Structure 1
Amino acid sequence: MSQKRKIALFVSAIGFGGAEKVVSLLLDELTKYFDVTLILLYDEIKLPLNKNAKIVILSKPGSTFKTNIFARLYDNFKFIFKYQKALKEHNIEVAVSFLVRQNIMNGIAKMNNKKLKTIISERCFPSIMYSDQKATSFLTKLLIPFFYNKNDKLFSNSIYINNDLISNYNIKIDTSVIYNPILTKNRKPKLKSYKNLEDVFNVVTVGRLIPVKNQKSIIEAIKLLPSNFVLDIYGDGELHDDLNLLSKELDIQDRIHFNGNVNNVKSHIVEKHCFVLSSITEGFPNVVLEAMSVGLPVICTNCMSGPLELLNDNEKVNILSGSFVKAKYGLLVNVDDTVGLSQAIKYMQNNIEERNMYSKLSFERAKTYDVSNIGIHVKNLIDSL
């Protein structure tokens, strides 16, 4: 029997973020075909990992991401050398990295080892994601074109991300789209029943509490709805206190529940009536796939990128301000349209048959993104080198 090819997956840590979830799922599939080493910058593992993968951690136990710019630069220089050393020690033939810092380090590793094959993966819409701060915008405009183009191939989770990289960052290497994987079941869980319009209607959202996720918009939408509409928020982040204060200022603090990070989030959200994504920008939202995989009907902002591809086969829609559009697999609203979002939530509550229909469509749609299917696409990409 031929020896398995040695590959590495490179990510900062295995926390609760979208890229980390993708890596943890892909390990289960890729270890079937390759000898896999998972390389992490930090000693943080919060998700289950396949026992057949070797794990290499580049920092000392207890080390965390530095906020001081000079400490961060020093850490990055150390990581560059440690990463290349790990690739050499484990005889890695193909290195696959995720997110901008690791992608740049993969480009450097390729520059110093021409025999190494490298694949990078961008998971966000860079021209929006990195535009908030002038320094970050300047550095990414400088570093991404130079180091990304040193790699062999790039894949993202949206055609719009690739277009952004080509148009705004002059990416010239081969690009492809491989959507995020999800674990699905053969039988759809039973959707939580809702018969009396006076009963509590449970809305749920999942995501880091950061500006681009825009949970503020959902909280403001709940304020526009009757008192029997409540919102559960799963996730944590820098805006927790601000969002909690907002709910108090709007006098709806008893209807907004902050639940923090949880393991197996699907077991929590399956008990709700509908799922909402309110992001300003996305890559390809894992949380929407997770909601759909348990049969939750979903409402998404038509942000760049992901929701249009996922909910409407990438067919463009025209959404009026203060309203929503019934897409093929869920409802779409304009970004930051609080009134439109409240109307979409109200529609899901008022129309039981439509809610049940979208529940079934969600579940069937999610199956096409099962990790067994997506894993083959990643395998084929690796095999092409």
Structure 2
Amino acid sequence: MKITVFFTYGYSLKTWYDSGTIERELEIYKKINEKYQVNFTFVTYGNEEDLKYDTNIKNSEVVPIYSLIKYNKNSVLRYLNSFKIPYKIRMITRNSDILHQHQLLGSWIPIICKLFSNKPLLIRTGYDMYQFSLQEKKNYIIKFLYKFLTNISLFICDIYTVTSNSDRNLFKSSEKVRLRPNWVYQSGSESLVGRFENRILSVGRLADQKNYEYLINEFSNTKGEIVLDIYGSGERFEYLNNLAKESNVDLNIHKNVKHDDLLNIYKKYKFFISTSLFEGNPKTILEAMSLGCVVLASNIPNHSEIIINENNGYLFEMKENNLLTLYSKIKNQDEKLNNISENAKKDILDSNSLELLTEKIYSDYTDLIK
């Protein structure tokens, strides 16, 4: 079986490498290749430099778009040029059994390829772009384009996967939609013993969506008692550091690290906190739970799908003093925290293991070529 995987528009192997996620992003394809001997061709938005990265996937091929067409610095012209891509890779798609779009953005390219080659198309979505655009108050044109892209993708593709029940409920009438949550590595047996007692971990982009302002404000005047460690990068770096100083908070913002290193970092912390305003199927929470962290998360729909309050984690309303009060109440409840940690590891293993998602995605592939 030959699958052509289209990267998210604008992303390349170099993008993944620079963000420290290249091994994780490729891992699901590696497992499918090893278990079912499926061969992959990766169509990326890089140049010849992408060819130097080893996917570690047997018989895989990398096709960087900007080794075939000229990269244009103007984003509008670059978008218009993207309509040349299906023609440039026509022989690759004709020799493929299935076309697979890695994320919704960029789906117009495999859609055109499908229309020319009549190959089945699977479109994976990690979150609903249109719903996110509403939350982020994007301008009308952007919202319209995301809605149009979602609708045409759903109409033309053969399988459309989402990572959360909240997203699946947006498309109740479509039989094409399948739930395929994000995966995590099998959880270890690490206990809470020996983990940081007074350091709290959070992971994610330094963006408004993550609501780190609320996190810092909740822990005002705790300097010398509690340390907040955030792993992520973004435009709010300076603002958040200044806010922490004004609020008398010990805050360390760490740059992105390799995914393998991040997994080891989770194991050092007893508590993980997410204050996000909205999410898809958050990998950071799944990873934190799978590695035994006690997760405190904002009570939003996509968090409450994962966390059963006081069973495998904690949910809190984002009101003044709610988070700090909750943390102060539970931080010394060792027996209960141990139970929550164990429940979290078991629940994530049952629902989000790499092995389980490997089987489900392969079943999608086989359904497409029956």
Partner residue in 2 for 1:73? 76
Is residue 2:62 matched to residue 1:55? yes
Residue 301 (structure 1) shift: 1.4
Q: Does structure 1 retain, via aligned residues, the 8 Å contact 2:99–2:114? A: no
List alignment gaps of at least 5 residues for structure 2: none
Change (3 A) 1:229 1:357: same
Q: Give the match for residue 365 of structure 2.
A: 382
Taking every aligned residue pair, what percent have the same amino acid on both sides?
20
Shift of residue 73, structure 1, vs aligned partner: 2.5
Q: Which has the higher helix share?
A: 2
Cα deviation per residue 1:240-270 (whole Å; 9 max; x = unaligned)? 1221121122132xx1000110112011221
**Which residues of 2 match residues 1-385 of structure 1 at below 5 A?**
5-11=1-7, 12-14=11-13, 15=16, 23-32=25-34, 33=36, 34-42=38-46, 49-52=55-58, 53-60=60-67, 71-83=74-86, 85-86=88-89, 88-89=91-92, 91-113=95-117, 115-131=118-134, 132-134=137-139, 135-164=141-170, 166=171, 172=174, 174-185=176-187, 187-193=188-194, 201-223=198-220, 225=222, 227-252=224-249, 255-263=250-258, 264=260, 265-305=262-302, 307-312=303-308, 325-326=309-310, 328-334=311-317, 336-368=318-350, 369-385=352-368
1:332 aligns to what SS in structure 2? strand
Q: In the comparison of the two structures, how many residue pairs are matched? A: 349
- Give the 3 Å change call, closer, same or farther, for CA 348–84 of structure 1 in structure 2: farther
Name the amino acid aligned to 1:57.
P
Following superposition, the deviation at residue 94 of structure 1 comes to 0.7
* CA–CA distance in structure 1, aligned partners of residues 163 and 296 of structure 2: 20
Q: CA deviation at 1:172?
A: 4.3
Measure the CA separation in 2 of the matches of 1:48 and 1:219: 40
Show the counterpart of 1:321: none
Give the superposition deviation at 1:381.
0.8
1:382 & 1:57 partners in 2: Cα distance? 24
RMSD: 2.9
Mark the CA change 1:343 to 1:49 in structure 2 (over 3 Å): closer, same or farther: farther
Whether contact under 8 Å (1:218, 1:278) holds in the other structure is yes
Contact 1:10 1:39 in 2 (8 A): yes
TM-score, normalised by the number of residues in structure 2: 0.84
Q: Residues 201 and 245 from structure 1, CA distance in 2 versus in 1: closer, same or farther, beyond 3 angstroms?
A: same
Kept in 2, the 8 Å contact 1:7–1:37? The answer is: yes
Moved more, 139-148 or 256-265: 139-148
Report if the CA contact (8 A) 1:8-1:37 is conserved. yes
Q: How far apart in 2 are the matches of 1:49 and 1:348?
A: 43
Shift of 1:230: 1.1
Residue type at the aligned position of 2:205: R
Structure 1 pair 49/183, CA: closer, same or farther in 2 (3 Å)?
A: farther
1:92-147 CA-to-partner distances (Å, cap 9, x unmatched) read: 2211113232223222322333x211011121133431122113112212332124
Q: Which moved more, 1:259-268 or 1:10-19?
A: 10-19
- What letter matches 1:96 in structure 2? H
Q: Distance in 2 between matches of 1:19 and 1:142?
A: 29
Please state how far the C-alpha of 1:202 moved relative to its aligned partner.
1.0
| Aligned counterparts of 1:258 and 1:92: Cα–Cα separation in 2 | 44
**How far apart, CA to CA, are the structure 2 residues paired with 1:217 and 1:49?**
39
CA contact (8 A) 2:273 2:296 kept: yes
Deviation of the 1:38 alpha carbon: 1.9
In structure 1, runs of 5+ residues without a counterpart are: 313-324
| Corresponding residue for residue 319 of structure 1 | none
Do the aligned residues in 2 keep the contact of 1:95 with 1:119 (CA within 8 Å)?
yes
3-state secondary structure, aligned to 1:364: helix
Do the aligned partners of 1:280 and 1:304 also contact (CA within 8 Å) in 2? no
